[in-house]
Structure 1
Amino acid sequence: MKKTKFLAAGLIAAMIVPVAAQAQTREIERDRREVREERREYREALRHGDRHDIREERREYNDARRDLRDSRNDWRRDKRYQNYRAPFAYQSFRIGATLRPNYYAPAYRPAWDSRWGVPRAGRNLTYVRHYNDLLLVNMRSGKVIRVYRNHFRWR
């Protein structure tokens, strides 16, 4: 009985974690949209508004930018993405290098995320985190296709 409750609690927690990450992503997207709208309104006030309108729109634009910055910082402080260290020493990889399979084991393959600013991995390709670097690797041959150096340096 205890085992099934523990298992059910684990499954529920596993389902909630991606939802929280999606909520943060949606918040960042909403803040980006708001910054664009406020910038547009500020520019319109510069063209056609009086001094009071310009001051008010500038204040709203700065508030929207601050909200976006805070949302991004909240996402970066998320504990699930911190304290990552591989069980082997750092090595600087170059394009064309061949990795051993233990370097691109499932534990080091983070799921693609639009917040990273990198394109989705294609067929038979995967992203591999190696300390602060992000590598795009061909899973069949182990060849490094692309290297994003210090991609996680804000950690």
Structure 2
Amino acid sequence: MKSKFLTAGLIAAMMVPATMPVAAQAQTREIRKDRADVREEHRELRDAQRHGSRSDVREERGEYRDAKRDLRDSKRDWRQDNRYSNYRAPFKYQQFRVGSTLRSNYYAPSYRPAWDSRWGVPHAGRNLTYVRHYNDLLLVNARNGKVVKVYRNHFSYRR
């Protein structure tokens, strides 16, 4: 009986995402909630435009505008998060170019920023990963270490 509880506890512990801090989860939850609010307010605005009076439309426009402002503020707070502002790698800065080959320690998981959409870049495709190198963001082929795209000073404005 004791081993069943232990096994269940271990399985539950393994299912909890360990890489995302609690604050980050709260922030993403807030953004998801704000996006849902924007969708709902947009739906209500369309309904008011179809079936409501002028005052209903005016009121719904204001609520839709407020929901979009809340979403924009949440995204700004998310991007201004200070956890990545003092990033320094244990090796010296080197300016990489497209076609350069990185050693595997340069694109180790600890240098891969999660949440592609947070950084304002397209989703990394298959076998590609984003790697932060000081203030530069590199799109790297994870199989061979070739640099596919370089975003110079991508993190410099996030201080």
Q: Is the 8 A contact 1:85 1:131 kept in 2?
A: yes
Matched, 1:46 2:49: yes
SS class of match (2:148): strand
Q: Distance in 1 between matches of 2:79 and 2:112?
A: 19
Stretches of structure 1 that go unaligned for 5 or more consecutive residues are 1-14
Specify whether residues 151 and 75 from structure 1 end up closer, same or farther in structure 2 by C-alpha distance, changes over 3 A only.
same
Among candidates 85, 89, 92, match of residue 88 of structure 1: 92
Name the aligned partner's letter for residue 55 of structure 2. Answer: H
How does the TM-score come out when normalised to structure 2?
Answer: 0.68
Q: Is the 8 A contact 2:79 2:118 kept in 1?
A: no
Stretches of structure 2 that go unaligned for 5 or more consecutive residues are 1-17
Name the aligned partner's letter for residue 67 of structure 1. Answer: D
Q: Distance in 2 between matches of 1:132 and 1:46?
A: 47
Q: Distance in 2 between matches of 1:52 and 1:135?
A: 51
Specify whether residues 85 and 23 from structure 1 end up closer, same or farther in structure 2 by C-alpha distance, changes over 3 A only.
same
Matches within 5 A, 1:4-153: 18-86=21-89, 87-89=91-93, 91=95, 93-116=96-119, 117-120=121-124, 122-123=126-127, 125-153=128-156
